[in-house]
Each structure stands twice: as C-alpha cells, then as structure tokens.
Amino acid sequence: MSNKVKQLAPIIWSEIQKANSILLHCHPSPDGDSIGGVLAMMHVLKSLDKKVTVIAGDSEKPSSFSVLPGFDEIIAKNLTQTNLSEFDLFIIQDSSSLGQITKLAETKFPESLRTIVIDHHATNTEFANINLVDSTYPAVCQMIYDLFQEWKVEISPEAAVSLFVGIYSDTGGFKYQNTDANTLLAAAHLAKINPDFPKIIFELENNYEPEQIKFIGLCLTHIETYFFNRVAIAAVPYSVLQENSIRKEHTEKAEISNMLKSVKDWEIGIRFTEAEPGIVTLSFRTRNPDKHDVGKLAMATGFGGGHKSASGATFKMPFEQARKHLLETIQKVYPDLGEP
C-alpha cells in the first residue's frame, strides 16, 4: 500500500461519511478497471446505507461485462443528462482529466458538489477537491482494494470479483511490467473471498461477436510499419468498416496494439481506427516503456494520455490528416526512431 493511499484514505472516508447521495461514473469506452471499480465501490457504499447512482457515461454499457454482479444497476446515461445538484459527492475513478468524464460538453461542477479523484494515470490533471493519484499502481481496482483495507470495510463476494476483474484487466492478466507482489497478494485475497472468479473471467474472454473477429482480421491486413520497421500501425478507415458492416462497438475490445508490440523488433504498436467519420481512435502499446513511453506520446498528440506502457487518444480530424499528425508527433517525441 502506498503512502499516498494511507494519507488520503481517512480524508476520503470522512467525505463518504458526510455524504448521503453519491455519484459514480464509467469513463468513455469503459474497460474492466473502470467497470469493476465502480461496481465494487457501489457495493461497498450501498453496504454503508448510502444512496448510490452509477452512470454509464458517454459510451453504451459494454455487454461483455454483464456477467458482473450489479451491472444492471448502471444507468445508461451520460454526465450531460445528469443533474449534478442532486448529489453530495462525486467519486471519479480511473479518469485522468475532465475529458475522461465526458467528451460531449465542458464539465462544470456545482459548488455544493464535493469531488474526489481516484486514479493511477501519470497524466492526471488533479481537477477534483481531493485527488488520490498514484501511478505506481497497475490498476485503480488495486487502489480501491487498499482503500477498503484501510477503511476496514467488509468486501462482499460481489465487490471482490469486480475488483479482481479490474486488476486482471489492467494488468493484462498479470503480464504487464507494473504487476508486482502486492498486486498478486490483493488478487489472491479477492479470489479467496469469491472463488468463482474463473467463471467470470471465462465469460469475459470468450464472448466475441463475429464482427469483432472480422475487425481483427481487417486490422491485421492493414498493418504498415514506419521508422525503419520499429513502429507498427494498423490503420483502418471508416469506409472499410462500412463495407464490412462493422460498427464502432465492434472495434473497442480488440487487443490489436498488444498483438503488434508482441512482434520482435516492433517497438511500438498502434491501433488506428476511424470508428466514425472524422473521428479516429488510437490505442498505443510499447515493448519498453522506459525507452518509449506511450503515455508521453499520447499526451504529446494533444488528444490523449495514459500510462507509460499503454495509452490512448482520440483525433477529431480526417483520416489522412490524423495519420500525418500521428507520425509527426512520434518523430518529435522520439527522434531516436529516425524518419517515418
């Protein structure tokens, strides 16, 4: 457990004790750490007799996580559709900036609303009243686990499996470099509380739709390498998605960037998808985060952020303009890679 968590745990606990109505949210294109974290927090807050509202945020509720207990309690609406004055406290998890709460409008909080950030992104802008930001953690769900331990609250089987899924998801199944002994100890404790976790993981990892597999195939046939074959980009334009009846939601689960960086000598892997006309989503992965920090790279584009080993961005510009902007940014941030 980090010193930051120990220092801020009692302060956050005090805010929770004072609040009656608490808001939680999922970040855009929510992953296991986002969904698992809000569900675990929801279960614990409800056990404290708090009124808790969980909103899905900008994206649709990802059906792949419907196996998690409490998933049906996530309300399918975004922040712009939510009356913030109805809440005493907004706990903002796994979101490095206001843009990760919603991209649909500028976010403004009423003065009466207390805000708490719990996040592990090094690029976090610390925009809340209380900011618990610690990039040494591989997953927000591990931070939440440590908070629960400090608060000495009971972790139910429902909360335990939600936290386990979040940790498992953001560590790549305990494979990423920032996974450590504390991560495994937390996961072991959660697995002891809910021994049925393998069934949940199986359901999460074995529920691809045919269109998702087709999308993976399209990405693999659209790979181009740059910077002397050290950067691999799978760039798929919207027209190709249309031709193959692939919708935006079919593009969000594929681990393309992980596949690309797994290739020997491809130091950076990037999934580059025009999921909607003029909107390009990017997923970055790196073989060596100390040498090529993709969180720094995503941040330098002006439209993203994330971790040293994994990050993302969204470009609102035409496909070819977005590609040009990406290549120019890579060359600027990492001149050691040479010319595109």
pLDDT at 53 over 80: yes
Tell which CATH classification among 3.30.200.20, 3.30.360.10, 3.30.428.10, 3.10.310.30 matches the domain 210-337. 3.10.310.30
Q: Where are the domains of the chain?
A: 3-205, 210-337
Place of tokens 């940014």: 329
Number of Cβ within a 10 Å radius of residue 156: 17
Residue 29: per-residue pLDDT: 84
Give the separation between CA 36 and CA 143, rounded to whole angstroms. 12
Give the separation between CA 283 and CA 298, rounded to whole angstroms. 9
Beta pairing class for 304-306 and 74-75:
unpaired
Residue 183: per-residue pLDDT: 98
Strand partners, 282: 272, 313
Kindly indicate the confidence band of residue 304, based on its pLDDT and cuts at 50, 70 and 90. Answer: confident
C-alpha distances out from residue 297 to 9, 144, 212, 277, 304, Å: 32, 28, 27, 24, 9
Place of tokens 């971790």: 307
Tell which CATH classification among 1.10.3720.10, 3.90.1300.10, 3.20.20.140, 3.90.1640.10 matches the domain 3-205. 3.90.1640.10
pLDDT tens-digit series, residues 230-278: 999 999 999 999 999 999 889 987 789 999 999 999 999 999 999 999 9
pLDDT tens-digit series, residues 151-183: 999 999 999 999 999 999 999 899 888 899 999
HSE-up of residue 147 (Cα within 13 Å, Cβ side)? 30
Place of tokens 């002994």: 181
Q: What is the pTM of this model?
A: 0.88
